[in-house]
Structure 1
Amino acid sequence: MKRDELTIFDSEAVREKLSYPDCIRVVREAMMALSSGETRQLLRTMLSLGPGRTFAQMPGALGEREMFGTKTISVFADPRSPGLRRHRGLVVLFEPDEGRPVAIADAEEITHIRTAAATAVATAALAREDARTLLIVGTGGQAHTHLKALPLVRDFERVLVWGRSPAKVEALAAQYPQLPIAAVTDLRAAAGEADVVCTLTTAAEPVLMGEWLKPGTHVNLVGSSGPGPVEVDSALVVNSRYIADSRASALDAAAEFLVAREKDLIDDTHIVAEIGEVLLGRVPGRQSRWDITVYKSLGHAVQDLAAAAHLYRSSLA
């Protein structure tokens, strides 16, 4: 590879070269670095292009003398599949010595993998050690990546999958014969059995209610990534130990949190920590085995950049 050559990782290259164990490791390091102040990033800027059409920019730097760059992405509803969204775009990576762009990676594939990797990191830190039943709510792309990432951090004896379309649930389950997957139609009953729940939907109104959960459950809120659409009700937020990937991002865009705050049910102090603070040992994640813990995933630039930097460094090696 020539020194000034720009390395390009298309979607196939990202899938091939960004393994889930590696991505879990680099995302874990990135989230600790974010909470310790080593990394730099701005809140994402989002430009509405009409209903179901958003253009977003997410700039950041992995450190003062580390790689930096941006994720530029479009989030468009799929007109052929109502309820589905595509995240198409690029992660552009620069080296820190001369400021040269050195790599471009497919943002959709990185987003899929690093989001599930971040959920796995949070689940490892917050779910009970004896968690044995996983509930996946949703059947889209993130359901696939979470089914690959979550079993790496807990030994699940049952994996329950729920979606609005029973046919899609059955099709998803059939693709993972190595997992103990069961398709479910009663979400309330499934939520009451689960030790770990991942909401991965495009729901505009709550699909998961706090009263359905048993004490000790860990919930990963992933599907809603901006103000407006909420996947869970305010009771779940209020009664949880609420931990975000980024406090600043959550105060700006965590829909379920913002709705509960607008109702005067909570205030900003309800965000007890960033996940990076938990990983650093600064704030306890779970205080008792009966806590209901929530990890709010909004995604931030340093996760994408850490994944892209790993790809780039691996290609050099």
Structure 2
Amino acid sequence: MIFISAEQIAQTLGYADCIEVMRAAMARLSSGETKQMLRQILPLDQGRMFGIMGGTLGPGGPFGSKLVSVMPHRAEGGPPSHQGAVVIFDPVSGAPLCQLEAGMVTAIRTASASAMATDVLARKDARILAILGTGEQAWHHACALPVARPFDEIRIWGRSPDRARTLAEKISERTGIACASYGDVAGAVADADVICTVTGAAEPILTAGMVSPGAHVNVVGSSFDGPREIDDALVAAGRFFADSRASVLAQGAELRHAMASGAVTEAHLLGEIGDVVLGNVPGRKGPEEITIYKSLGHIVQDIAAGYHVYEMIRKEGGQ
């Protein structure tokens, strides 16, 4: 078994490749080829959590598990909020092949999955991208989404104006796309074609009245049943898709809250993004529709991304 560090993952797992790995993996999930456990979350103190995930890419494919700690109140400049390990096993011998640093795998595959969903659901003429949040996922989403779609403008909002300005400058330098910070959510998303919520918000920061007709929204920040980033009215207003139907019905806070309030029923969840990729469920039907992709993240994504990295490193090493 080899250990693959965060630095190796960052050097090997490019966004363009990972977007296509996510497209294939999520299609396999929706076709029923893969198997996965619902994410198990053990609450710790002070809002911290320990997560356990396990699954397989399907018959003849690799299988594995992810163990991750979530420390949402980390100090600025400190270690990442998500730390852990992804262990992947050989499908033939059953031997562990590799252990990957989980934080970097999670960061790149999550943003790449959102980029893939954006490519599938956003209007073809989408040009303005708004990102709500200033953490690790905000950075990776700003890097990944322009790989899938061309954008003329990126907007950043965060609770800390200084962090938002710093991130906007960094994104402009990295992408070559004009990027500016905004002091309020409504201003940041006004007339935005694509919106990504990647915050640690406990209560909705994005409401239906802020979102323009025809926008696509990636809802990413909340990973368990509790904190919500968008309100019930926005859930109800959009064509709603999940990364994993079972996971979102069990742990997707925004949809579950909207169902509990009576704003929508379970039928409002139209399908998984993999269903749209496969052509089994229509995605966007018209230019004025709002589309929503709810991302919880799942082990199939981790195994697919991790195994891709493993194979690339093995090829480079001539093994």
Establish whether residue 106 from structure 1 lines up as the match of residue 101 from structure 2: yes
Alpha-carbon separation, structure 2, partners of 1:77 and 1:265: 30
Listed as ranges, the gaps of 5+ residues in structure 2 are none
Deviations 1:159-199 (A, max 9, x none): 11111111001110111222210111132133222000000
Q: Which residue of 1 aligns with 2:63?
A: 68
Which segment drifts farther, 49-58 or 198-207?
49-58
- Structure-1 residue corresponding to 2:22: 27
Separation in 1, partners of 2:15, 2:187: 31
In the TM superposition, 1:168-317 aligns within 5 A as 168-176=163-171, 177=173, 178-317=176-315
The answer to whether the 8 Å contact 1:71/1:91 transfers is: yes
CA separation of 1:23 and 1:150: change in aligned 2, threshold 3 A: same
Shift of the alpha carbon at 1:265? Answer: 1.3
% same residue: 46
Regions of 4+ moved over 6 Å: none
Mapped to 2, the partners of 1:290 and 1:163 lie a distance apart of 27
Question: Which AA in structure 1 matches 2:69?
Answer: S
Please report the TM-score for the alignment, with normalisation by the length of structure 1: 0.96
TM-score normalised per structure 2: 0.95
Q: Is the 8 A contact 1:77 1:85 kept in 2?
A: no
Shift, 1:85, TM fit? 7.0
One of 130, 141, 162 as aligned partner of 2:157: 162
RMSD of the alignment, in Å?
1.3
Aligned counterparts of 2:80 and 2:261: Cα–Cα separation in 1: 29
**1:132, 1:13 → 2: CA distance?**
32
- Local SS of the residue matching 1:92: strand
**One-letter amino acid matched to 2:254:** E
Aligned residues: 311
Do the aligned residues in 1 keep the contact of 2:3 with 2:100 (CA within 8 Å)? yes
Secondary structure at the aligned position of 1:175 is classed as helix
The 3-state SS of whatever aligns with 1:181 is strand
Classify 1:299/1:21 alpha carbon distance in 2 versus 1 (closer, same or farther; 3 Å). Answer: same
Distance in 1 between the 2:28 and 2:294 partners? 18
* Structure 1 CA distance for aligned equivalents of residues 74 and 166 of structure 2: 21
Classify the secondary structure of the residue corresponding to 1:193. Answer: coil
C-alpha deviation, 1:79, in angstroms: 4.5
The 2-side partners of 1:32 and 1:184 are apart by 36
